[in-house]
Structure 1
């Protein structure tokens, strides 16, 4: 099977909401945190087909099918993995490389970018916590009232003032200056000879993807005359700032529980709110909120509340974010802070309850946008209304949902006192949204082999859902302790991911598995339910159970 770059697969998965995709074929109903419906792969009267929007996979408890977005298209349309990738890439507007897969050199190059960013995060973090060179940075963070626990949680670090400190550390670990340049961590000297560190004498905020791997940095200057105040990583093959939200890997569970996300602009805004026990928050990382960001947030919550700075720049940024949000089905709202405050200073001054109360009473995106237009144009004049309508027309054409588009159009016509039919007529040319053709549903091959033992499925499921237990499991457990070759293979896959420093991401693991039976089994294992308060006890019980089995086998073989 041709190899497709991991970062391309990640971008496609991030841009594809599995609930939206499967809803084109199955009528889904929300039940708890998941969605359920009648399985499209076998006849049934009682729904046994489950879709997990957070981890982006599906599983049928009836016939055993399961997988991620790629596997669903493969099975529903009977196409190859590469064809499924091409279909979803086209659907999501993600460009694929010209060739079907990267060379070994290209694959290693992408891996090196992850290694470089991971090394930089660990190095910067060590200097901040343990080295005298980080003393000024520690003092600064204390003045910002950040606790040691918060610094540890977000992996903050300090980039030293030397021009080549990181380059030297990386070189000793086999990472060349060219690799650091491609990772956005170093720059070529203007003389054309050699490189120097991009981040120097700055607080480093590591930016992680949804697999919790460091892919970029934001860095704040410590010296008052140092420009720019915030310096961000450039776009790289593994970092696309318009598709990444700072903090989401850490806060997505809280966002899902609240069914709402507070969106702030700055790294410190997010960290300050999180320390104040406002956990359902994300930040844009050095860019405006994009439609890709909105699609990502829609996986976890139905409501988005913009919480930007109260000054003119914050209002401008909020307007751009509104333009991205109006085209979504999200319940989008905007909090207007006093002009002298940003979210960080507001929560430090007034407390978390005051901030949450403002979020509860936030105005709708359309209300905010119209009020901002009224500051820019005289809406009592014909010319002012005409200009406002021109600004609004492309936004009104964005929603895919015809009902939502119609309601927005009516409200705008009423608020601006313009003729609704005339406005509707002007919009017709903007709406050209051909629907994706549906292909015939085909039956997947039946499962012929018996299922692995229940305890083996549950152990793999526990490790998939709670990967923090993998390091300890490796120390005293061998995959051969399992009796089924398929659970052995999944166990080795998890252990290999940990050994190579890869995050345990179910979607990417499913993409890497070339065996359909293993793909289904991985989804089945991940669908196992666990009580978070009892999970450590369950983990110890499983290890004890398999150790006893292994001992009994040795005794039996010795007889």
Structure 2
């Protein structure tokens, strides 16, 4: 893997993989001067601390500390090793792996094997739906739901035949072992260890991650006696965690950025219908409860979410739970209410008039507090004290969470008038609702050790102006680097050079984080000072600081005592050092 040919191939892939383009396919980047910024894809946050430098082709996440080249980003985000990241980026750039060293990267990781398997079985199910007689049940179901073929094909919909061993036989023919099929959740091991297909007689909707790679499936039953669940999803696997994937995000993320908001619905058919009629900024929770990870994922692409769940009691309750998670993630939330008994799929089947009405519902969707206030008023008899009390108890915790005092006061007044209670009574309920949170403490963040400012600036100089490295090698006294963690990093840079591909493999994760952080966000230095002059200043400062440390050490030796010769030697060195500082 260290051959010149392999290194040349790595450089070819790196040159073809612009870091802004690659990271921008995962994270919505916004221009910030000469760099790009975004919310961290690694840590929850409300203020962007993730930066990409197009000139240096580096990224730095200040909230998590991660940073590096395009390979480092793909490795961390995709949880791949270097060879996996190299293969992924090469495929993306349309670069074929040279036969001479293909063996060096042809042992895919477990994650890559699972991704490859999911893509292959999705293609097989899709072939069955459109080209095999067994797929007639799936085709009839799509026709009954008025889903056009072009929409079904766009979403990669397939059909799992009504067989207990369909995937098992297909997998054996394709060379996939039963153990891998089970790990992927495609087959289930029975009580006696006998495997059978998980998905049978179901319309298959692939579930993709943000990059568009299939990581799981949702199977909608189309026939049988209806005894099974309407939707059957893949179990959690090494590549699929249902609480971390929003259905349709890979297709919707660009539209969400353009619209400035996302619409969140409940099921996959709701999403497919919305996309089919032009609402491309819709994502779905895939039949599971909304999670904090879902909210953070949405927050990376937008600041506003419109919740549009089914218009039944279950949908309303799910919306309330979702609102709390979304608002805690810092999102502005509105709620779109459909007529009773409707969901987006059924509502949008009403033709152009329904599409226009749905667009109007989204545009006029009230804020979540207005929605919850109306819900509290409609669900309780406000003519009775008990009804007003229940309504106040349901809305007070929400009002108490509003941090802006002016906005909270205005909302409290509106709620008091709407519910027919005094403002004082409502504010008392708000204070009571807010009491449990008063003793809460935000999680502590470990403090980073204070870095040596002079050596930190030197590290930045060596990477920012590599032409100075030759002079630094000649003039640097290695004693100046002693007793400092940054000293070891300086020596590594001088040994390997400042090119990231040559330097970064020699660095620890903490050292790599420091280097990328300095390159993306330089220390506060005077830009008018040329590198040669800056090194001269740093050299003098390093020598001065070393002499001070040496003087303190010698003074301690003299105080500690010892042989007469040792003390005399220490005193002579002390005199010389003090004179040199005068």
After superposing the two structures, state which structure 1 stretch, 307-316 or 251-260, moved more: 307-316
**Which residue of the partner structure matches residue 202 of structure 2?**
202
Structure possessing the higher relative contact order (Cα contacts under 8 Å, 6 or more residues apart): 1
Match of 1:434 among 442, 460, 468: 442
Match of 1:446 among 418, 440, 460: 460
Inter-partner Cα distance in structure 2 for 1:398 and 1:116: 46
Structure 1 residues 182-261: aligned runs within 5 Å: 182-190=183-191, 192-223=192-223, 225-226=225-226, 227-261=228-262
- Aligned CA RMSD, in angstroms, stands at 4.3
Answer yes or no: is 1:175 the counterpart of 2:156: no
**Conserved 8 A contact 2:312-2:340:** yes
**Conserved 8 A contact 1:35-1:52:** no
Answer yes or no: is 1:371 the counterpart of 2:374: yes
The Cα of 1:263 is off from its aligned counterpart by: 1.3
Call closer, same or farther: CA 1:335–1:71 in 2, change over 3 Å.
closer
Inter-partner Cα distance in structure 2 for 1:365 and 1:132: 49
Structure 1 residues 59-208: aligned runs within 5 Å: 59-60=52-53, 64=56, 66-69=58-61, 73-74=65-66, 108-190=109-191, 192-208=192-208
The Cα of 1:258 is off from its aligned counterpart by: 0.2
Structure 1 residues 359-438: aligned runs within 5 Å: 359-392=362-395, 395=398, 412=415, 415-416=418-419, 417=421, 418-419=423-424, 420-426=426-432, 427-431=434-438, 432-434=440-442, 437=445
The Cα of 1:113 is off from its aligned counterpart by: 3.5
Answer yes or no: is 1:58 the counterpart of 2:51: yes
Inter-partner Cα distance in structure 1 for 2:36 and 2:442: 29
The Cα of 1:367 is off from its aligned counterpart by: 2.1
Call closer, same or farther: CA 1:65–1:114 in 2, change over 3 Å.
closer
After superposing the two structures, state which structure 1 stretch, 154-163 or 305-314, moved more: 305-314
The Cα of 1:385 is off from its aligned counterpart by: 4.1
**Which residue of the partner structure matches residue 338 of structure 1?**
339
Structure 1 residues 499-538: aligned runs within 5 Å: none
Call closer, same or farther: CA 1:157–1:370 in 2, change over 3 Å.
same
The Cα of 1:413 is off from its aligned counterpart by: 5.5
**Conserved 8 A contact 2:128-2:134:** yes
Superimposed CA distance per residue, residues 300-330 of structure 1 (whole angstroms, 9 cap, x where no aligned partner): 1222112222334333333332333343432
The Cα of 1:70 is off from its aligned counterpart by: 7.1
**Conserved 8 A contact 2:58-2:67:** no
Inter-partner Cα distance in structure 1 for 2:205 and 2:149: 15
The Cα of 1:116 is off from its aligned counterpart by: 3.5
| Secondary structure, counterpart of 2:250 in structure 1 | helix
Superimposed CA distance per residue, residues 163-211 of structure 1 (whole angstroms, 9 cap, x where no aligned partner): 0111222234443333333322222223x13111111011001111112
Unaligned runs of 5+ residues in structure 2 are 1-27, 43-49, 78-107, 467-496, 503-507, 522-582
**Conserved 8 A contact 2:256-2:281:** yes
The Cα of 1:391 is off from its aligned counterpart by: 4.0
Call closer, same or farther: CA 1:302–1:450 in 2, change over 3 Å.
closer
Call closer, same or farther: CA 1:421–1:401 in 2, change over 3 Å.
closer
The Cα of 1:248 is off from its aligned counterpart by: 0.4
After superposing the two structures, state which structure 1 stretch, 160-169 or 429-438, moved more: 429-438
**Which residue of the partner structure matches residue 298 of structure 1?**
299
**Which residue of the partner structure matches residue 44 of structure 1?**
none
Superimposed CA distance per residue, residues 305-363 of structure 1 (whole angstroms, 9 cap, x where no aligned partner): 12222334333333332333343432211222122432122222143322111110112
**Conserved 8 A contact 2:29-2:37:** no
Superimposed CA distance per residue, residues 417-463 of structure 1 (whole angstroms, 9 cap, x where no aligned partner): 353542343213324242755857865732646899xxxxxxxxxxx
TM-score, normalising length: structure 1: 0.61
Answer yes or no: is 1:357 the counterpart of 2:360: yes
Answer yes or no: is 1:267 the counterpart of 2:268: yes
Inter-partner Cα distance in structure 1 for 2:516 and 2:146: 47
| Secondary structure, counterpart of 2:345 in structure 1 | helix
**Conserved 8 A contact 1:261-1:301:** yes
Superimposed CA distance per residue, residues 141-180 of structure 1 (whole angstroms, 9 cap, x where no aligned partner): 2333333332222111101111011122223444333333
After superposing the two structures, state which structure 1 stretch, 170-179 or 341-350, moved more: 170-179
